[in-house]
Structure 1
Amino acid sequence: MADARADHGRSSGGFRSAELGWPELERIPRPPHRLPLLGDVLGVSRTTPIQDSTRLARQLGPIFRRRAFGKEFVFVWGAGLVGDLSDESRFAKHVGLGIANLRPVVGDALFTAYNHEPNWQLAHDVLAPGFSRDAMAGYHPMMLDVAARLTEHWDRAAAEGRDVDVPGDMTKLTLETIARTGFGYDFGSFERPRLHPFVTAMVGTLTYAQRLNTVPAPAARLLLRRASRQNEADMAFLNQTVDEVVRARRAAGGGDGDLLDRMLDTAHPQTGERLSALNVRRQVITFLVAGHETTSGALSFALHYLSRHPDVAERARAEVERVWGGAEVPAYEQVAKLRYVRRVLDESLRLWPTAPAFAREAREDTLLAGDHPMRRGAWALVLTPMLHRDPEVWGAGAERFDPDRFDAAAVRARPGHVFKPFGTGARACIGRQFALHEATLVLGLLLRRYSFSPDPGYRLRVTERLTLMPEGLRLRLERRVPVAPAPQPDGDARADEPHTPRCPVHGAGS
């Protein structure tokens, strides 16, 4: 890698490209019309940076760069390039951009820890058993209880002929689910006329973290002075809420062995080390935020597509009625048998991965895809919505919603690195199976109970706050009388089993 260490001169932006870790940065395409000092900011909004980056990606190709306010960024979305970046022996998670901006909130928690920080491995090893099959089966009844609160709310809306606020209600659902299953806490979301203040504070911190990426660092203190004060208040409220949850658990002498009990009482199986009180707080906030924010977006996008594709909804509904039969509520094992419903979810995550990017850095000097020299520590941002639309993998109709892209034969025919809604590698999302079980269960329950009618004038708009969410999505509901045939044999289950991404919102790896 001697050539990679050589100074190949300055990039067109005036940087010494070798100092950025990309010795041949000037070979990577960039947008035209770069402005002095500001960089490549024409046509890029501070509120929709991901969607604007996907537009640039279509123009510039599978690897491109942008400079903004003195910072140079390399974006990657071509499947071959991402396959190389997914090699754990050569690349690792990079904590940067908006994720690093969350460190004042959650420090070295699972999602935001730097690779060298020991608390990541400690927390991962302590908490991983909380997502085992036995643990998941224990969460299932609580997921059903929270879903029942949603359907009570939606039943009233259906009876009164009112539309429902899909993103708002999915946020309430998923917040209550992770709070109940993980921490034995009830936010009372469905009994409140507005979102719980915890959600308001959480959205505020996510939005502020993203805004920091769109403002020149020297001017951030001045331009974001008011927003900074609000962010401090939001962080204080998050900390206060979690501290109250922990105090209540300690006062009760423990719970039922949920995630919080593991955080407070479980020692590392090899070292005997325990999580500190500060790290417990950081992990709880991380799970409450990451455990509901990405899943609520995934459910909202899926419901949007189901409402716009009644043929898909009917096929999914027929599967629910066949597999679950006349049971009032499904057993844990029955959720995984909803293979077509799971395809709907996967296809929604393909088009709109709610954790829309993840960054990878070189462990040592290397060549990306045998072509682009990278120094140790150089990093690139994988633009997941474009990876999921790469026409070389997904064909010319990659923008079309088609759940059959995820039938078992199609999944086996594709390399694993082309579908990455949960990140990749060792730092992929630790709670992905929790999220997939919850989302599949909820979609099955809602399909069996309601027919969905979209607003004919609605056009999908996507809001960005580090995660992606449909904006202004409302649906009209009609209560159904479920058809309850006896469950039928599943046939060749192995030939049609659901796809588990080979990995980390959502986000959003851990």
Structure 2
Amino acid sequence: MAETVTRTAAQVPLPKGFRGAGQGWPELSRIPHPPHRLPLLGDVLGVNRRTPLQDSMRLGTRLGPIFRRKVFGNEFVFVWGAALAADMADESRFAKHVGLGVANLRPVAGDGLFTAYNHEPNWQLAHDVLAPGFSREAMEGYHGMMLAVAGRLTDRWDRELSAGRWVDVPGDMTKLTLETIARTGFGHDFGSFERNRPHPFVTAMIGTLTYAQRLNSVPGPLAPLLLRQAARRNAADIAHLNSTVDTLVEERRASGRADGDLLDRMLETAHPETGERLSAENVRRQVITFLVAGHETTSGALSFALHYLALHPEIAARAAAEVDRVWGDTPAPGYDQVAKLRYVRRVLDESLRLWPTAPAFAREALRDTVLGGEHPMRRGGWALVLTAMLHRDPEVWGPDPERFDPDRFEAKAARGRAPHTFKPFGTGARACIGRQFALHEATLVLGLLLRRYTLRADPDYRLRVTERLTLMPDGLRLRLERRAPAPAPVSVPEAPASEGGGCPVRGAGD
């Protein structure tokens, strides 16, 4: 997989005052936009500022695979057609663009891996230093801690089951994934499962994500006036995130421990070629990036998967049967046994298809080019790829893309699809560095829960999706029943991994 970015071609400074994507599209008028555009305000009729992604998905269905929206004088171009998205995945012509809500997170994450501009040197330094932390050897080391945290979740769910209570799926998945990344990456325990309310770090994190999204819903010059109180809260949230991470780092330095985890790599590892080390400020930014991105998206992916499993008991039964067959009555499945859950992994992939928890990514042109042979783009011009719509393109996924069907990711079906049609982790050199970690954790947890419980949906619940740059089911709760003991172990022959073996996303970063 590609693990570097070209520092020369990717150093594309945006023109002064360059906010909207429209300036980079010489023939913008050829790209459709919503009707009833208003002077000054643009395409704001019918827009809900709390659900901009879902509004854009509805517009994309009506306007086609490339369209534009104008908001307060800034024109933005959206792409979701598979052929156009594949063209934008060309690393020789396009690179990651840090814009919209992602750039709004720079006050807290700075030049961390997710929010760094392509030309900032700390991105490549941190990437090269931290990449070994996601090797197979490192992942095997994390597996035991993942099991331990999952045990805390099942203890909690056993108590809820005994009391006859519903389980709060998004809340408990957030606790699970925060504790997992905190313990495996930084040797820290937030004590999430011992709290009745979310940990203050989670509250502050949600606050910063929500504020970053709100900044896109008001005119830039008016933001200080319209969001004055929210800005004060955001400053307090950032201060809390910084102080929490500073304390975590100080405790590690004072302890003299060498855990060999991500924090050790940040503090002690020099770049293998240049000898450079991460600065103290950048260490803080990287820790915040991993704690936030490392748990927020995975908790959403697990929550959506559990929602669909509860809605489709026949799929849940098939997945549970696979767990019983592959794991048997082993109390603690080994690292390699997780990868053998082929169908459970397909459940997860199908959930990520319908609701990729990082639902879009932006790409900018490295030079003057023509997108899809039809739309001229100037150097620095950019567009937002709507992953959640790309994953619904009927030319790729058939006439019923809204239907939940894990067999879309059966090995033969996956091999038959064109590259760059499934992108839950972004694309290219800037694709999510922790995708293997997230997929192993999520598959393990789904396997453990399916082996232990039968999931019962709330018949009155209709999926509502909360947007805070990432996506999460809102108000999702499930009823649990204990399953009968698993059958005796059965020998299962090895099968080739789908989606190209080691890399979990076909074409995403390889």
1:386 is matched with which residue: 386, 389, 393? 389
Q: 2:49 aligns with which of 43, 46, 51?
A: 46
CA distance in structure 2 between the partners assigned to 1:410 and 1:497 by the alignment: 12
Offset of residue 488 of structure 1:
2.2
Q: Which residue identity lines up with residue 175 of structure 2 in the other structure? A: K
CA distance in 2, matches of 1:328, 1:138: 18
Describe the SS at the equivalent of 2:373.
coil
Report Cα offsets for 1:248-284 as digits up to 9, x if no partner: 0000113310000000000000000000000000000
> Could you tell me which residue of structure 2 aligns to residue 261 of structure 1?
264
Paired position in structure 1 for 2:5: none
- 5 Å matches for 1:51-450? 51-450=54-453
**Does the 8 Å contact 2:435/2:504 carry over to 1?**
no
> Secondary structure in 1 aligned to 2:357?
coil
Compared CA separation, residues 503 and 231, structure 1 to 2 (3 A): farther
> How far, CA to CA, are the matches of 1:162 and 1:367 in structure 2?
56
Distance in structure 2 (CA, Å) of the matches to 1:71 and 1:210: 16
Contact 1:18 / 1:24 at 8 angstroms: preserved in 2?
Answer: no
Report the counterpart of residue 504 of structure 2 in structure 1.
Answer: 500
Q: What is the aligned counterpart of 2:26 among 23, 27, 36?
A: 23
- Conserved? CA contact 1:69–1:215, under 8 Å: yes
1:307-349: CA deviation from partner (whole Å, max 9, x where unpaired)? 0000000000000011011210100000000000000000000
Match of 2:491 in 1: 488
Residue by residue over 1:5-63, the C-alpha shift from the partner in whole angstroms, topping out at 9 and shown as x without a partner, is xxxxxxxxxx9x99701000000000010011100011111000000000000010000
Question: Matched residues in 2 for 1:494 and 1:97: separation?
Answer: 36
- Aligned AA (2:251): A
Q: Give the 3-state SS of the residue equivalent to 2:90 in structure 1.
A: coil
Q: Deviations over 1:266-303 (max 9, x none)?
A: 00000000000000000000000000000000000000
- The structural deviation recorded for 1:106 is 0.8
Distance 1:31 1:494, change over 3 A: closer
Contact kept, 8 Å, 2:86 with 2:420, in 1: the verdict is: yes
Deviations 1:113-156 (Å, cap 9, x if unpaired)? Answer: 00000000000000000000000000000000000000000000
2: CA distance, partners of 1:393 / 1:271: 44
3-state SS of the aligned residue for 1:32?
coil
Q: Which runs of 5+ in 2 are unaligned?
A: 1-17
Runs of 4+ in structure 1 displaced over 3 angstroms? Answer: 491-499
- Aligned residue number for residue 9 of structure 1: none
Superposed CA offset, 1:197-248 (max 9, x none) = 0000000000000000001111100110000000000000000000000000
1: CA distance between counterparts of 2:198 and 2:32? Answer: 44
In the other structure, the counterpart of 1:451 is 454
Q: Which amino acid aligns with 1:500?
A: P
The answer to whether the Cα contact below 8 Å between 1:408 and 1:497 also exists between their aligned partners in 2 is: no
Read off the aligned partner of 1:84 and give its amino acid letter. D
CA distance in 2, matches of 1:298, 1:423: 15
Q: For 2:22 and 2:385, locate their aligned partners in 1 and report how far apart those are by CA, in whole Å.
A: 21
Q: Which amino acid in 2 is paired with 1:458?
A: Y
Q: Please say if residues 267 and 273 of structure 1, whose CA atoms lie closer than 8 Å, have aligned partners that are also in contact.
A: yes
TM-score, normalization: structure 1? 0.94
In structure 2, give the amino acid aligned to 1:388.
H
1:451-490 alignment to 2 at 5 Å?
451-490=454-493
- CA distance, structure 2, for counterparts of residue 434 and residue 272 of structure 1: 27
State the distance in 1 between where 2:24 and 2:489 align.
61
> Which SS does the other structure have where 2:217 is aligned?
coil
Q: Is the 8 A contact 2:101 2:213 kept in 1?
A: yes
Q: Deviations 1:429-448 (Å, cap 9, x if unpaired)?
A: 00000000000000000000
* 3-state secondary structure, aligned to 1:463: strand
Q: CA deviation at 1:178?
A: 0.1
- SS in structure 1 at match of 2:32: coil
Instruction: Call closer, same or farther: CA 1:232–1:482 in 2, change over 3 Å.
Output: same
1: CA distance between counterparts of 2:492 and 2:151? 28
Q: Find the aligned partners of 1:200 and 1:495 in 2 and give their Cα distance.
A: 37
Q: Match of 1:23, SS?
A: coil
Residues 198 and 241 of structure 1 are in contact (CA less than 8 Å); yes or no, is this contact kept in structure 2?
yes
Q: Name the CA shift for 1:19/1:437 in 2 (closer, same or farther; >3 Å).
A: closer
**What secondary structure is seen at the aligned counterpart in 2 of 1:92?**
strand
SS in 1 for 2:454: strand
* Cα distance in 2 for residues equivalent to 1:27 and 1:75: 13
Looking at structure 1, the residues matched to 310 and 419 of structure 2 have their Cα atoms a distance apart, in angstroms, of 29
Contact 2:22 2:75 in 1 (8 A): no
Distance 1:495 1:39, change over 3 A: closer
In the alignment of these two chains, the number of paired residues is 490
Whether the 8 Å CA contact 2:308–2:404 is kept in 1: the answer is yes
Could you tell me which amino acid in structure 2 is paired with residue 93 of structure 1? K
Cα-to-partner distance string for 1:137-181 (whole Å, 9 max, x where unaligned): 000000000000000000000111100000000000000000000
Identity between Structure 1 and Structure 2 (%): 76
CA distance in 2, matches of 1:89, 1:76: 19
Pair 1:284–1:501, CA change in 2 (3 A): same
